Homo-oligomer: A and B are copies of this chain.
Amino acid sequence: MIPETTGTEGETLIAKVMSTVRSRIASRALTPGAKLPSIRSFSTNLKVSKSTVVEAYDRLAAEGLIRSRPGSGFFVAAPLAPLSLADLGPKLDRQVDPLWISRQALESGDDVLKPGCGWLPPSWMQEEGLRRALRALARGNASTLVDYGPLLGLPALRTLLARRIGLRGIEVSPEQIMLTESGTQAIDLLCRFLLKPGDTVLVDDPCYFNFHALLRAHQAEIVGIPYTQTGPDIAAFADAVEIHRPRLYITNSALQNPTGATLSPLVAHRLLKLADKAGLTIIEDDIFADFEETPAPRLAAFDGLERVVHIGSFSKSLSAAVRCGFIVAPRAWIEPLADLKIATSFGGPGFSAALMLALLKDGSYRKHMEGVRQRLARAMAETTTKLTQIGITPWLEPQGGMFLWCKLPDGVDAADLARRALAKKIVLAPGNAFSHAQTASGFLRFNVAQCQDERLFRELALLIA
């Protein structure tokens, strides 16, 4: 008898064993560190010879996927990162991967232009106020500096937040507010609280790209709802609710990221009626609130915090280095959310909260943000003109904020443009990073505060041509 492991047939059988092992590892039926079936039992199960299994295991070991331990068998190699985000969803082009833009924006040096970045340049922030607040805290009381703060976070900051949120029509008591380390952590805690793997979540299409990454980390099914100039497409929303029975909808009501659009009262009302009927929870991410000239309607205001949870942070307006966010939730949710916060991050933003309080109490913050809004309005007008001149057209004239969602000339692919722009030290934010349906390949998101350098428009014109 010819040994099975030689010749074409032998190769086919070895490949079959290898692919069986690979798919068991991919499906996590075999997790890193797990022992592989013994050669004898595997050969019986797969109806191949023992030498075929030996050869397959040896090749997999050579690939580094499994490791042999003399005397005890084969094991799945350990540093395999089983739950890497990249493994959880369809493999995207890394250049339009939701995490790619974040990495580029965070990692690039000062000589790089970042119109694709999601925050203001440091020089736009309230640096002097922050220095003043730091000096004040350096003289302040010791426990603010060294002790864990109270469970829900600094009471004085929660009281001030309740008042500020009240100005947007959302009536809330400080006991309904819990401080978190960031706006993203606030949404993450809520997802842990509300979702189990496989639950469906609705997002706007386009939406903030990190929602995709976050929801992938929760192993949620994502369904995108086309976003119109006045909010999500209500007919599509109604259909999605009916078909997918989602658990959650995550959105921005005002100055939506990336479009800059604002929800109309009509759409808000219809949305809430649908959510109410279906028992859907809504997370309203409101981190750009202080960039609005006139407060737009908030879902949480219409709903009275029954099924809408409101979140915010200070990363965009005060400081991204000093981490502090918050959750505004129905009263009954606060205790279990606090338990979850203790379990997963123990303390809250003790010192950061004190710093935010010092800054917000100070009347200079209001004045500073007035200045930022005026400066952004000017930058918005200038950037619109310059982009239009090179054939890049805003989809909407936003009522405020820093984002401009723009259509590229026909035939120009945003991901391709982003790749080529990176070689010129320009970080762009290509549309499909924001689009779950991958239907925004002709769009880019610009941050007008990061479009102050003429080189950007010259290079873009060349890259497009």
Q: Contacts of A143 on B, CB cut-off 8 Å?
A: 122, 321
Q: Is the CB of A343 within 8 A of B277?
A: no
- Smallest CB-CB separation from A336: which chain B residue? B84
- Report Cα–Cα, A351/B182, bound state, in Å: 13
Q: In the bound complex, what is the Cα–Cα distance between A259 and B61 (angstroms)?
A: 41
Q: Does A102 contact B (CB under 8 A)?
A: yes
Instruction: Please encode chain A, from 180 to 197, with 1 for each CB lying within 8 Å of some chain B CB and 0 for all others.
Output: 011111001000111111
Give A residues with C-beta under 8 Å from B.
Answer: 28, 31-35, 69, 72, 75-76, 78-86, 98-99, 102-103, 105-107, 119, 122-123, 125-127, 130-132, 134-135, 137-139, 142-151, 181-185, 188, 192-197, 199, 210, 213-214, 216-217, 245, 247, 276-281, 306-307, 315, 318-323, 330-333, 336, 338-340, 342-347, 349-352, 354
Residues on B with beta carbons closer than 8 Å to the beta carbon of A146: 122, 125-127, 130, 318-321
Known: A31-B199, A145-B322, A319-B351. 6 other contacts (CB 8 A): A31-B196, A78-B281, A79-B332, A106-B150, A131-B139, A134-B138
With A99-B342, A134-B137, A342-B213: A330-B79 Cβ-Cβ less than 8 Å? yes
Q: How distant is the Cα of A235 from the Cα of B132 in the complex, in angstroms?
A: 59
Contacts of A82 in B (CB 8 A): 193-194
Whether the pair A346, B184 counts as a contact (CB closer than 8 A) is yes
Closest to A74 in B: B279
Shortest Cβ gap from A129 to chain B (Å):
10
* A131 & B138 in contact (Cβ 8 Å cutoff): yes
Given A131-B139, A142-B122, A351-B319, the answer on whether A99 and B277 have CB atoms closer than 8 Å is no
Q: Given A145-B319, A352-B351, do A84 and B339 touch, yes or no (CB 8 Å)? A: yes
A134, B134: Cα distance in complex, Å: 6
A188→B345 contact, CB < 8 A: yes
Chain B proximity of A310: nearest CB distance (Å):
14
Distance A277 CA – B74 CA, assembled complex (angstroms): 10
Query: Would you mind naming 29 contact pairs between A and B with Cβ atoms under 8 Å apart?
Result: A31-B199, A32-B194, A79-B331, A81-B193, A81-B333, A81-B336, A82-B193, A83-B340, A85-B336, A85-B339, A85-B343, A99-B339, A107-B151, A123-B142, A125-B145, A127-B145, A127-B146, A130-B146, A134-B137, A138-B138, A147-B320, A182-B346, A183-B346, A185-B345, A210-B342, A213-B343, A322-B350, A323-B349, A323-B352
